[in-house]
Amino acid sequence: MTPGARVGAVIDLYDMIRAAARPADQMLHDYFRARKFIGSGDRRFITETIYTILRHYARLSWWAAQLGMDEKGRNLMLLWLAFGTSEDLRGIQDLFDGAGYAPSPLSRFERELLERAVKLEFIPPEMPEAVQLECPDWAYASLKKFFGDSFRDEMLAIGREAPLDMRVNTLKAARDTVLKQLRRDDFTVHETRYSPIGLRVQGRPAFSAHPLYMKGAIEIQDEGSQLLSLLCGAKPGEWVVDFCAGAGGKTLALAAQMENKGRIWACDIEKNRLENSRKRLRRAGVHCVQMQLLDDEEDDWVRKHKGKADCVLIDAPCSGVGTWRRSPFSRWQNLGPSLKALTKVQQNILQSAARLVKPGGRLLYATCSLLPEENQDQIEQFLAGNNLFKPMPLESLAQLPGLDLSSSHVQLTPARNETDGFFISAMLRV
């Protein structure tokens, strides 16, 4: 593709993402799948540029409003070229020459705006703090209050690209063995900061065709998600429920932790997600997992298995604020329930899933959110109305050097821990 055609593709993709009620990563996958002729270098440029624009959406949109432009992909692309690259006005004009698949030539109005923009400061003092930090209005007050003095650092960390982490499947290999193999294969990789089964890889290499991945020795999983599984304290032979199992990432980690001994129930209300996890389970050599499709959190299956579980993990549906590094545009899309609706669902799930825990068993509640409304507030509300449970120190479930587990809950954050924003709380059934 010519440089102009690449820019044209970014513009088209942005407008498609804005118009569709689907996550950006799915749109990218479908876009390239329908255009197999696009080479790897072009794909890399298009992907990196579209994600860069999405990470700077609030700032670019603010400037578009200041300059009398709308938020179409063409205008945000022009502004990013002016503010975020080394292209001068002549270079930008060359990209918009209308040749082949390049965008149409600049209008006189666009040229005049660009002449102004190239002389301006991208983040001027008068730009509102929420815009500077790419924080949507609906989350701004809560996050600012929660983080206090570290609010700016945390929001800047959320705005950066997430690293690529993987979990070593200890059913198939040891971490040291995998680390040595990847280094022999010329990957730049090192051990994760807290997780004893994690590795962090530099760059964004593809692993789907690597022998270690194909034989199930590694799984792509953020270190924060690995820690959540480890903090369940699951032991061989136990009866464990992954109540919101999704695609099975934490189910796989629990199975390895339990050495494939015992029983894990992977429950979810989405049949496709459960079915998609079967292939991952086979590849990982896991055979201690049973799938259970639920109609809702009040499904009759819960009543039938009341008081049987040694451990119940609830990775509750949430706003996903803690994953904004990976899905930067999700903060501006309304693809699911409102925060008010989500907190009600979370409390219902907590109340229902807690019935599965046997006396002396443990209940783990987690979200990939940074909002107190979905985290600490939910635990306080649950414990206030349920005297069968009490807070449980996380250090009694796992020892993770460098991570303070003296409390019954921990909040992982991008700036402080270099992980996604996970909240984890442990409770004991008394």
> What integer pLDDT is reported at residue 336 of this predicted model?
81
Rounded Cα–Cα distance for residues 276 and 204 (Å): 23
11 within a domain of the structure (yes/no): yes
137 within a domain of the structure (yes/no): no
* Per-residue pLDDT tens digits for 268-314: 999 999 998 999 999 999 999 999 999 988 899 999 999 999 999 99
Residue 21 has pLDDT above 90, yes or no: no
Q: Is 321 in the same domain as 304?
A: yes
Rounded Cα–Cα distance for residues 279 and 3 (Å): 39
> What integer pLDDT is reported at residue 244 of this predicted model?
94
385 within a domain of the structure (yes/no): yes
Mean of per-residue pLDDT scores for the chain: 94
* Per-residue pLDDT tens digits for 43-82: 999 999 999 999 999 999 999 999 999 999 999 999 999 9
Residue 88 has pLDDT above 90, yes or no: no
Q: Is 207 in the same domain as 237?
A: no
pTM of the model: 0.93
| C-beta neighbour count of 196 within 10 angstroms | 15
Q: How many domains does the chain have?
A: 3
148 within a domain of the structure (yes/no): no
Cβ-based neighbours of 383, under 8 Å, separated by 6 or more: 389, 390, 391, 427
215 within a domain of the structure (yes/no): yes
Of 65, 98, 127, which closes a domain? 127
> What integer pLDDT is reported at residue 206 of this predicted model?
83
The 3-state DSSP composition of the chain as helix, strand, coil percent (nearest 5) reads 45, 15, 40
Q: Is 263 in the same domain as 332?
A: yes
Compute the average pLDDT of residues 222-248.
Answer: 96
Burial of 121 (0-12, 13-18, 19+ CB in 10 A): exposed
308 within a domain of the structure (yes/no): yes
> What integer pLDDT is reported at residue 281 of this predicted model?
95
Say which amino acid occupies 142: S
Partners of 367 in the beta sheet?
A: 423
Residue 204 has pLDDT above 90, yes or no: no
Q: Is 86 in the same domain as 170?
A: no
CATH number, domain with residue 14? 1.10.940
Residue 121 has pLDDT above 90, yes or no: yes
Residue 405 has pLDDT above 90, yes or no: yes
Q: Is 332 in the same domain as 386?
A: yes
Rounded Cα–Cα distance for residues 182 and 211 (Å): 10
337 within a domain of the structure (yes/no): yes
Q: Is 247 in the same domain as 322?
A: yes
Residue 354 has pLDDT above 90, yes or no: yes
Q: Is 192 in the same domain as 284?
A: no
Domain that includes residue 184, residue range: 164-220
